[in-house]
Amino acid sequence: MYIQIEPKPKAFLNFYLLACDKKAGWRVKKAAFEEILKEEVGPNDGESVIIMTGSKPSETELQTAEKLTKSNKYYIVFPNDGLINEIKRLTKESGKKRNDIFIIDKKTFKTIAVDIKTCGDPSPETIIAHLSEGVNQASCLILDITGKIDKKKLIKGLRGGWSKGLKFLFLNYHGQWYLIDKAKVFHRNWLIKNVR
């Protein structure tokens, strides 16, 4: 399940800027995040997926977000276009990048702009295409593998699709989540030993 909020842009922008500030403590970030939750529409039973009014996530994006939040490590926020544009303006970010979500760590309140990719019919080629397309939207991705692919082909796709602009990847493979960076992808044995 998820909650819907009618955000005051200043509340989320305040939180986002604090979340990006390495000097701000987690208590300050937590208080700013709780200000956002005061704008919810309807009851909140502790849901971790938050949809801002005006955001239009697809059914597969919602399913992927709900799967990731089951680990109880993250909040996921689906922003609306106005918020994305305001963040770009404040951070002086240019270009056509437009992430799907923000992932917020529940302990540190560190916030990451992420693009979601779901792969229902995976092959090395489709994984390469998803990573190449996703990195044009955000430097961090979620890759939700919902179809079947053996590990060797998965590794081939990850290595073939990894590019300079990709910082890390949340990978869902066989119902298990992995946080993967370039060092793990290109390490001789890390994927073979750790991804099941």
Same domain, 95 and 142: no
Same domain, 74 and 129: no
Q: What confidence tens digit (pLDDT) does each residue in 105-134 have?
A: 989 888 888 999 999 989 999 999 999 999
Same domain, 83 and 110: yes
Total count of domains within the chain: 2
Least reliable range by pLDDT among 36-45, 82-91, 123-132, 168-177: 36-45
Same domain, 100 and 141: no
Residues 6+ apart with CB under 8 A from 175: none
Same domain, 27 and 91: yes
Same domain, 25 and 98: yes
Same domain, 19 and 82: yes
Same domain, 91 and 14: yes
Other Cβ atoms closer than 10 A to 24: 14
Residue of 45 and 158 predicted with greater confidence = 158
> What is the reported pTM?
0.85
Distance, C-alpha 4 to centroid of its chain? 18
Q: Which domain holds residue 60?
A: 2-114
Other Cβ atoms closer than 10 A to 33: 24
Same domain, 143 and 90: no
